[in-house]
Chains A and B, each alone.
Chain A
């Protein structure tokens, strides 16, 4: 099996994997980064969202062979202590119910706020509608994104 060099959370790592292995399974099974979640395997639900060069992408459909030299950030790399404004807002607004989709939600929100710290309702809807939450936490997600944007502007 080939060996790939990846840039994950500002670290360089080498993994041995089949070329078509999705990044999701490399993160979870090889690198023990379990924060990125498996939801659908088809880029439908957003549970596996990570940042690829700053953009929110679905890691369940990204083959590892396409990712050499890309900058990848996972929920663990956003901040280990929960100090990122989006993580802060998520805890403060008490968004999670079961919590399973929330790493993906947070990564989508963080990518949005990184490029637009004053998002409109439409901007938020566009950024967050790719992430499914069966618990129905969307009303609190909205509050948390607005709060995170406020923190980011400070």
Chain B
């Protein structure tokens, strides 16, 4: 734990108009390992203390439901020694002084932890120094707590408000004391979401609720098949619809993650725009995308995994020899579908493009990317682009793409008026960037001592990296060569072949891991059965008793720690009563996974109805995410990830027919509902390690825990997701 930070070289304090203290400082970039279109690191401003005693803390990152509008300001407030009940939290807009602002990769807490602590601590040190100067006493005799500085020997007190002006005249402290975790008062508590009241009373805080003066609404007709182009527009009927103002054709960009070919109906209100679009007649040039189908893609996967992978990723020992000498071998082929993001707030965005400036409102995970797109499409320099951050009705990776913001910017530029682009649910599903689908062929051997001696995985997926034109190898978004049990099985081979498609793909909550954890953790369960071992005991046996730092070259690395993984496995096994016989009628499944720096182990309990429908009643989950910032928020993310992952595993799946998704809305794309959700019991490991994020980590293991429990109940293995697409479970 860092306790002293040298700040001489990189702190700058600026006085604000009138009396007050505004703190900002430039910081060096922290590599996130993610390309979110960001990368600006310059002076920042996180808090403001006014002479009247009011304290404002800005929440820098997009709030998409992961709780950062509450948890990031908590970190500042802790070090500032502010009174949380009296602090006002404001959402920041895109502001280059704040450094990278985005929501992705569960990085907000870990990447901002030190920065925000320093922001709070620096202000505290300067307030204390101002008090010491005023009293002409030693700094060490003064202490800050609850926004008051006390001179301990005499009991004299000054409030932060009384000190604000003097603090702004203080020199920059060369050394800042950060608090010891044992002294945290706010961090680790359960703090309710700062927007709870606004949400519960229906305040207009979401992007779709914004309405700048003079705003028009656009609903866009896009090609009915992927990659189609507008050939001819007949708009006379659409223009007759009352409220319709104008029809504008959208010119596609070469990059399909930006603008696709379309025709916008711009109207005075949403319903008129929807009706106008219905009346629009368009002739499309379908192009080659019209041929695409899930069948074509699957055949390509099967062809790929039947031969050597085009990208060899790992080859430890000699797998062929291990298989030849094995006492037993097990083979399985797994299949996962495209998944739809299904954010409850459909895509929408507002742009107001003027001659020399742009202002934007709406839901996004990447405000910086929106600003970049605005500059690109309008030629107006980024400095003149203002991006307001609205509360966002779900992200899950969908809003790492800013295609819908590009549409709003394009249209506002075309008509020189503020325009809100609104997607219907059908638009949202048909034009989503799906979780890649894939096939994973596995073979493993068990030697005559009952140990796993060889492991071979040959995977093929519709790489999302390949879709977005990433320069990295297409496997990097799909499979993880250092993931457990790699490094433990002496003979281990991993190979991969990408499949390209016109079907748009993108990051979907716990990208890559949401598929690989299912594959690895169900296959391990099957191997445990083959070896006649308890699935938990077998994992612990593989991990070994000795603490090891395992190389891990993906996001969350460069290492993972076997003791921490072992600890969550043991914790959940003990707390869930794994080693005792399950109660009559309860069937259990286990899975564990490391990703993005956090360790998660789950025991799922289900019952089977008379008609053979599994009902998940309870999930026990143990998590080690280091220091917990907001306990209520942490538990919410863990619970939500489990419910969400369960829904996707049971019901989620998009199929492509004739160049388009066969599903259209929630009647054909099923999400988990209240009556299907389990109780979730969470055990957090008490830790002083630096905190990790939590938005995604509980999701990957749950599909495997579910399928392993289904095996315990039925003796049947699930190799294909969603579960409902297996013959045995068609009446789910």
Contact = CB atoms under 8 A, between A and B. Distances in A.
Interface in B573-587: none
Given A29-B269, A100-B393, A139-B680, A44 B665 contact: yes
A68 interface: no
B396 A134 contact: yes
A41 B425 contact: yes
Nearest to B348: A38
Interface string A12-55: 00000110011001001110111111111110110100000000
A44 B344 contact: no
A98 B642 CA distance: 16
Contact of B197 (A30, A76, A82): A82
B67 A97 contact: yes
B342 interface: yes
A109 to B, nearest CB: 10
B665 to A, nearest CB: 5
Nearest to A83: B201
Given A79-B201, A91-B200, A97 B636 contact: yes
A100 B209 CA distance: 11
Contacts of A74: 202
Interface of B: 63-67, 190, 192-193, 195-197, 199-206, 208-209, 211, 217, 242, 269-271, 275, 342-346, 391-396, 422, 424-425, 632, 636-637, 639-644, 647, 665-667, 671-675, 677-680
Nearest to A137: B640
B200 A98 contact: no
B641 A132 contact: no
Contact of A37 (B345, B672, B680): B345
Interface in A83-140: 87, 90-92, 94-103, 106, 124-126, 128-140
A76 B202 contact: yes
A37 B346 CA distance: 10
A47 B639 contact: no
Interface of A: 1, 17-18, 21-22, 25, 28-30, 32-42, 44-45, 47, 74-76, 78-82, 87, 90-92, 94-103, 106, 124-126, 128-142
B201 A96 contact: no
Where chain A touches its partner, the secondary structure class is loop
Contacts, number: 194
Nearest to A87: B200
Nearest to A102: B199
A9 B640 CA distance: 33
B394 A42 contact: no
Contacts of B217: 29
A134 B202 contact: no
14 contacts: A25-B270, A37-B345, A37-B393, A40-B666, A44-B666, A82-B200, A90-B196, A94-B190, A94-B193, A96-B199, A98-B63, A98-B393, A135-B65, A139-B639
Nearest to B241: A18
A128 B674 contact: yes
The interface centre, meaning the residue of A33, A87, A94, A124 with most chain B CB atoms within 10 A of its CB, is A94
A136 B665 contact: no
A135 B394 contact: yes
B65 A99 contact: yes
Contact of A36 (B200, B202, B678): B202
Contact of B642 (A36, A37, A130, A136): A136
B628 to A, nearest CB: 15
Contacts of A106: 200
Going nearest first, the 9 A-B pairs with the smallest beta carbon separation are A35-B202, A136-B643, A98-B65, A100-B393, A75-B202, A138-B677, A44-B666, A136-B640, A34-B204
Contacts of B343: 98, 100, 134
A16 B665 CA distance: 30
A46 to B, nearest CB: 10
B666 A42 contact: yes
Given A21-B271, A94-B190, A136-B641, A40 B393 contact: no
A134 B195 contact: no
Given A41-B425, A136-B677, A96 B193 contact: yes
A77 to B, nearest CB: 9
Contacts of B208: 34, 37-38
